[in-house]
Amino acid sequence: MPDLGKYAVEVVSAYGASLLLLALLLGLSLRRGQRARAELAKAEAEAADHG
């Protein structure tokens, strides 16, 4: 780990906050995507029965 000097807290917190936000965005997007795929499969199945 590089010597961050007296601003270590600032740098780490900046990186931590940013990466956390990106991870949150990624996670939420992926979860929403998965749910949509599952529901679409169900809807297509129902449509096939009625078709």
Partner 1 sequence: MSIWSYANPVKFLALSIRVQPFLWTAALICLATGLIWGFFATPDDFRQGSTVKIIYLHVPAALMAINAWFMMLITSLIWLVRRHHVSALAAKAAAPVGLVMTLIALITGAIWGQPMWGTWWEWDPRLTSFLILFLFYLGYMALWEAIEDPDTAADLTSVLCLVGSVFAVLSRYAVQFWNQGLHQGTSIPVTTGARTVSDVFFVPLLICMIGFGLLFAALVLYRTGTEIRLRRIRALRARMERTL
Interacting residue ranges for partner 1, rule: CB under 8 A: 2-8, 10-11, 13-15, 17-18, 21-22, 24-26, 29-30, 32-33, 36-37, 39-40, 43-44, 46-47, 50
Alpha-helix residue ranges (DSSP H) falling in the chain: 8-50
Least Å from the CB of residue 13 to partner 1: 6
Least Å from the CB of residue 32 to partner 1: 6
Least Å from the CB of residue 42 to partner 1: 8
CA separation (Å) from 30 to 21, 23, 24, 25, 35? Answer: 14, 10, 10, 9, 9
